[in-house]
Structure 1
Amino acid sequence: MATSFIDKARITVRAGNGGNGVVAFHREKYVAAGGPDGGDGGRGGSVVLVVDDHMSTLMDFRYKRKYVAPNGADGQGARKSGKDGQDLVIKVPLGTVVRDAETGEIIKDMSDHEPYVLCRGGRGGWGNMHFATPTRQVPRFAKGGLPGEEHDVVLELKLLADVGLIGFPNVGKSTLLSVVSKAQPKIANYHFTTLFPNLGVVYVDEGVSFVMADIPGIIEGASEGAGLGHDFLRHIDRCRLLVHVVDVSGSEGRDPVADLDTINAELEQYSGELAKRPQIVVANKTDIMTDGENLERLRRRAEELGCPLFALSAAAHQGTRELVKKIAELLSVLPPVRVYEPEYVPQARREVTAEDLSYRRVEDGHTWLVDGAWLDRIMSNTNFSDYESRMYFDKTLRDAGVFQKLEEMGVEDGDIVCVNDFEFEYQR
């Protein structure tokens, strides 16, 4: 059974959390007051995207939707740092566009072989050896590791081809690709034989070649989701040149001029930019053509659109060499395959301020509630049974402007301030 073509997938990726710093003290025979020697936590593993040339679909992401990198290990005594989490490498096909699932913005276009760090691992926390000072010689607290980044992303495969073969089903696109390249697409005399794009490398001369894609047949209404065309119109986005294949034989009772205009109208509705892409019109199946008037009408219409026309028979190998040379000539002056620039701007890392927290005065007027994710992390690093650790917590809140904010809101000496589950009496 043939493998189905998957060109879009949504996944969740999360980098590893940083390991926690540890509270430890040096203990050795005959060494008095060895001092703090708690080591740092290890860095969490990052999620890295890498292009794999052997992949041609997003099939691997059909069943596995969640990817999590390992956490960093906690620190140890004797100033030993925890082990870093191993990076998680995710392989994707060349031409995969990574979008933010919520906003649709482009994060990265994997159109080269440079690895891309999609989610960075959390930084490891400091051990208590970092907090020793002349006045605080026995710090009984350490820092917890930072959480790793997390993203919901949509992977969208856009084939990297110079030339895209477009047209109605059963007009001979697959036959043309098989003749001018070594590709072996499925060919049969019925509609929608091609269910997924086929790629072929066309060698023109020494040092001259290009990649051609056979796009599944587009039908009227494709831009609105009809038929197979809607799923694969996106693959034409990267093509520098479109080769519009039209059946002029009349074997199916179709009007070639109407077919040409219908497909162009679908391109216009899908993307105005795509409709302006350079085109070559190919009048195919001339070997079984019974009425030469169809070819002449198509030639006049192609001239009106400013497109060169080539009359040929792909099945009989007639006229294909001239077409290939013309394609190579046009590609030599056209800009390179389109690469999508990132649109996603990650939130800048910055110091947390008092404005990032929420404040609420309870009805009695003398109790204040302060909440925020940043506070959760600070409290997880604090040993409230240790005086010096509590003083460090107090200094952290003061430096962030939390106390100044409370004073501006009217806090008074003796009021109770609740920071999560920790309560203290406020004193200026």
Structure 2
Amino acid sequence: MSAPTPAVSTARFDTVAAVPLRAGDTPERLAQALGGTVLAWSSCAALTSCTALVGLNHTLQAQQVPALSGRDVTTEPNRDVFGGGGTMTATMGGKITMWSGGKITMWSGGKITMWSGGTYAPLPENTALWQNIRLEEGQRLAPQLGAGVTVAVLDTGLDLQHPAFDGALSAPSTWHDFYDGDADPQEAGTLGTGAYGHGTNVAGIALQIAPAAKIMPLRVLGPDGSGDVVMIAQAIDWAVAKGAQVINLSLGSAEPSKVVQGALRRAADRGVLVVSSAGNDNRNKITYPASAADQKDLELTAVSVGSVDLQGVKSSFSNYASNLEMVAPGENVYAPAPEGRMAAWSGTSMAAPMVSGGLALALGAGADRRSLAGLITSTAGNVYGNQANDAFRGKLGEQGRLDLAHFLSSALK
């Protein structure tokens, strides 16, 4: 399926039907036959491989619709199936005044100097976190700092006017708000309520890892942190079509989605790397699409990420499972917040963009993207030496915690 044109309508639908297309089909005929609204439609030479997505607010009995005879039509719940987790744990009062030249980095003599005397200069509150994943060494190995790489952040949107993002966003023509159906993916809500600020934090974390990368803001979640299946699938296709090399999904669902799975396969076919958070329910099961990252058709491009503390111990909230591929520190991570502020969040949502940023560092330095999903997991640091993780042995990744220095030294050989 080619990247679908986002629906003009902002209507929400309880169910989505995936309908294989046949010669002679038109959006109008299909909508009338199903009594729904066509949300995605693509044209291609091999019509048997193309699928339209139709939003419905009633139960579809496909066998009772003559136009669907002989087609393998699938339906699944759509509305509010996905959610972005995490909790705001601290805020900084007043407006941020440390942004230098409108950048999240600091400048000295025309050069980026993020580290000074062993301290991370832009946001010193994160120094221990970044030392934990060896960010300083990693950035020295990849001095391009992600230049030329676009990371699509599918989330609650972000504060587009925040000075931290000045010059750090992709072209406005690549932005979209799939939740409200317009081109303005601005966060909406009240700071400290619901998921407002989640996307701004996630994007800001990715930029701290890869400061020269570009963020593509795509809003797929509302202020309460929930979003629809179709929004996620459309945004993945959009990100691929608009040139993102990395997609960050700090969100998840309790159950798999065939519609989203199709979009993930299309991203994999184009070699786009997808990083997904594992969920925050302290369960022996990770959320989807993190749970699909090790599947054969996605394993070369997808990575699942859980959370640990600075000692490498599983975060109390983090999900875990035998198919979880790696972890990163996801507790009290400071980043930009709406209204020009800074705030700390905790969640696997905060761990995922550290991995997305690490992949951007490698891509910006010219690494072969086909090897990166496997390398970033296989070069992770061992967390199983800590007895506190004995109950989770084999369920925090093959090795464990993100190690950017080890990863980049291996990727850039």
Instruction: Indicate the structure whose relative CO is greater, using CA pairs within 8 Å and at least 6 residues apart.
Output: 2
Q: Which has the higher Rg, Structure 1 or Structure 2?
A: 1
TM norm structure 1: 0.31
TM norm structure 2: 0.31
